[in-house]
């Protein structure tokens, strides 16, 4: 009799675990506790015993989940293109997951409910901004960054654009695609004073990269009273060339596909999606390198790839004081090589220091923005 009860208990436990695994498939939704709250929808399927998922952001964009696992009651997933990871606990009845999502090194509560298709929130996808639009911020708020606020990020929530802990150097780099060393006549506070910015474009729709540049340019000209002129100067740069047969996957984007440049939890663990080499160089000089990057690969396509390296002290200067993400530890077992070696071994590219004539911005006038 006792043995029968034990067998029954084991059987019920197995059935219960199977129910958890089965119940994970379906629609889940909850509010990410960041800012005023961000509605989040996740749709999970199961194929050949493996879970797959898609997360729908506040704009209705479908973002594939990179990895998704269920181990007992522990649910974990990562979204490499956005640098997001999640860990939660599945309720015994399979109707809820309690957990936290980590974005830019900070954890935020995200509790999910299992819902039917008819009860799933329907996000409203944002349409691209008309290609000929020249947007500016209809209303923009600029405030000093909050003391001891870690991280540096930017992006849209609905129609509202937000940037956190941005310096004037960051804004100029964003607007004109330049490295800090291409800004001549910068005042000391360009790099030391940080601002939190929010604004709504005067044109509806999701802006392209060029239109985002226009928004930042307009903000600088009107709120910071920036006046400047371009010159050509010879500067130390990194030349990006093809070393061997490229080892990158050619992107297969749809008409609505976005580009992605994001670190998968640690600085030095990079995923790139749907980018040209010229764009890759601009993002590397913006976030990583200590000098401008000059694209001389001759490659004109768009690519998807992973790049993993161990950063050195010359890299990630704009993030070092912000505590945005941990870095790969050079002392850890199987630490990847440095950036230059990783580019050659993993991508078939070569980056080497040289000098070249580059456009620089010469600052003629600038003012701190008025408070609002």
Burial class (CB in 10 A: 0-12, 13-18, 19+), 154: middle
Ranges 91-95, 269-273, 303-307, 316-320: which has the least confidence: 316-320
**Spatial separation of the C-alpha atoms in residues 251 and 358, rounded to whole Å:** 29
153 lies in the same domain as 60? no
310-345 pLDDT per residue, tens: 999 899 887 766 555 567 778 778 889 999 999 999
For residue 223, tell me if it sits in a domain: yes
258 lies in the same domain as 358? yes
100 lies in the same domain as 167? no
Residue that finishes a domain, picked among 115, 150, 185: 115
**Spatial separation of the C-alpha atoms in residues 317 and 267, rounded to whole Å:** 12
250 close to 307: Cβ distance less than 8 angstroms? no
Q: How far is CA 276 from the centre of its chain?
A: 17
153 lies in the same domain as 284? yes
Residue 254: left if φ>0, alpha if ψ -120 to 50, beta else—which one?
beta
Number of domains in the chain: 2
Among candidates 200, 190, 187, which has minimal Cα distance to 129? 200
For residue 189, tell me if it sits in a domain: yes
Average pLDDT of the residues in 250-257: 71
254 lies in the same domain as 347? yes
> Across 155-159, 172-176, 191-195, 338-342, which has the greatest mean pLDDT?
338-342
Residue 141: in which H helix or E strand, if any? strand 137-144
Indicate whether this model's pTM tops 0.75: no
78 lies in the same domain as 197? no
Residue-range definition of the domain harbouring residue 78: 25-115
> Across 81-85, 124-128, 238-242, which has the greatest mean pLDDT?
238-242
75 lies in the same domain as 219? no
100 lies in the same domain as 146? no
**3-class SS string, 195-262:** EEEEEEECCCCECCHHHHHHHHHHHHHHHCCCEEEEEEEEEEEEEEEECCCCCCEECCCCCCCCCEEE
pLDDT band at residue 298 under the 50/70/90 scheme: very high
For residue 370, tell me if it sits in a domain: no
Residue with token string 């629609």: 27
175 lies in the same domain as 83? no
- Residue 188's φ and ψ, nearest 5 degrees, are -60, -35
Q: How far apart are the first and last CA of the chain?
A: 76
Token duo for residue 344? 């050659």
């Amino acid at each position: 009799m006792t043995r029968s009860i034990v067998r029954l208990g084991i059987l019920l436990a197995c059935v219960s675990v199977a129910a958890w695994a089965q119940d994970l498939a379906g629609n889940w939704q909850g509010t990410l506790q960041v800012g005023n709250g961000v509605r989040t929808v996740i749709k999970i399927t199961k194929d050949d015993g493996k879970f797959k998922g898609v997360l729908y952001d506040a704009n209705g964009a479908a973002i594939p989940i990179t990895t998704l696992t269920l181990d007992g009651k522990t649910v974990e997933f990562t979204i490499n293109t956005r640098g997001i990871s999640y860990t939660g606990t599945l309720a015994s009845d399979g109707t809820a997951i309690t957990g936290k999502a980590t974005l830019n090194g900070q954890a935020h509560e995200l509790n999910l409910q299992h819902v039917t298709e008819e009860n799933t929130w329907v996000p409203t996808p944002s349409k691209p901004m008309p290609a000929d639009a020249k947007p500016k911020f209809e209303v923009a708020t600029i405030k000093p960054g909050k003391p001891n606020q870690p991280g540096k990020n930017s992006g849209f929530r609905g129609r509202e654009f937000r940037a956190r802990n941005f310096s004037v150097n960051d804004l100029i780099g964003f607007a004109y695609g330049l490295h800090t060393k291409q800004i001549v006549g910068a005042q000391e506070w360009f790099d030391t004073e940080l601002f939190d910015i929010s604004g709504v474009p005067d044109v509806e729709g999701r802006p392209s990269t060029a239109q985002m540049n226009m928004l930042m340019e307009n903000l600088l000209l009107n709120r910071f009273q920036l006046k400047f002129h371009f010159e050509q100067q010879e500067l130390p740069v990194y030349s990006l060339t093809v070393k061997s047969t490229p080892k990158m996957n050619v992107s297969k984007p749809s008409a609505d596909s976005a580009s992605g440049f994001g670190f998968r939890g640690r600085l030095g663990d990079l995923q790139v999606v749907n980018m040209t080499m010229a764009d890759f160089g601009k993002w590397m000089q913006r976030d990583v390198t200590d000098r401008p990057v000059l694209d001389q690969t001759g490659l004109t396509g768009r690519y998807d790839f992973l790049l993993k390296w161990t950063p050195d002290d010359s890299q990630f200067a704009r993030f070092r004081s912000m505590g945005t993400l941990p870095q790969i530890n050079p002392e850890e077992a199987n630490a990847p090589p440095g950036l230059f070696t990783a580019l050659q071994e993993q991508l078939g590219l070569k980056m080497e220091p040289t000098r070249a004539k580059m456009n620089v911005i010469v600052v003629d006038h600038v003012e701190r923005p008025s408070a609002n």
